Chains A and B, each alone.
Chain A
């Protein structure tokens, strides 16, 4: 973002960091959890569990990870954050020149992939396969 001669950039950790330091640490940690931690657990967890399942195996601690995927799923808010970015752009548009960084596009693609992955997965099948794989070992 360019406003006059001043240039600022935004990254996700910085948004959370700013809230933590500007007097609302609880909200800041919430933002960090919902936009950084849960997508990480969800995406990382799905890959960790599903890739070994392709070969009919279960990753160490696979059941535990799969449980955490179920728990974190409703708290994953990246698509909501993206809407927040768009709203903020409308607010700031009159104030400054805005440019999207690489991170924005990466984030948008991440959102689509994640939504597609979560929609594609059949949880009952995932659990059935995990159980079969576990009994084979």
Chain B
């Protein structure tokens, strides 16, 4: 193990903050980035609290997103309601396994893994869970990368609703599950953005309380 004082000096100790937008390092005392005009903070402000709040909202919405119908197919006047899972089962039974797997990963697995991963990251950054920085850094990177792909089901609904308007024969209307699901995707993306992975490195070097660093120097 390294000793805490064997690390190279950190930007925050020198009063330097890296801009969140353009990554230029500037003294925190000037307040806004001289290059791009963004506000300067040592770490993303209130990062863990915001991440947890957004994450919990997403976790709550995840339930109606999967239980409520995302669309209603009205065939010859008879309505059939489809949830994400019933659409998935249909593809599986049709024998379209690759598509079923893509939908399963994008709609069910990724949001769930994101929620777990971000709670894990927050716990680690608070120092409540022991961790390997290298691995958690990768977990964060993957979480950010994959988040957008969950939107695919919403786009499918949009396309079906727009295309399948065949009068009395068949129409498709969106259901309340679509709204809940879009909410889950957007909230998990916002949560991933508000998490600051540098908190993990701070924790590892024993320099905790980043919010205190922020407030001390502002």
Contacts and interface: CB of A to CB of B under 8 A. Distances in A.
A106 interface: no
Interface stretch (B43-51, B116-124, B130-138, B151-159): B151-159
A127 B24 CA distance: 9
A-side interface size class: 35 or more
A31 B158 contact: yes
A115 interface: no
Contacts of B36: 63, 66-67, 127
Interface class of chain A by DSSP: helix
B91 A17 contact: no
A120 B165 CA distance: 41
A87 B152 contact: yes
A88 B156 contact: yes
A69 to B, nearest CB: 10
Interface string A71-98: 1001101001101110110111001000
Interface of A: 1, 3-4, 6, 8, 10, 14-19, 22-24, 26-28, 30-31, 34-35, 63-64, 66-67, 70-71, 74-75, 77, 80-81, 83-85, 87-88, 90-92, 95, 123-124, 127, 130-131
Top 10 A-B pairs ranked by shortest CB distance?
A84-B155, A18-B162, A15-B162, A88-B159, A15-B158, A127-B22, A24-B174, A18-B161, A84-B156, A81-B155
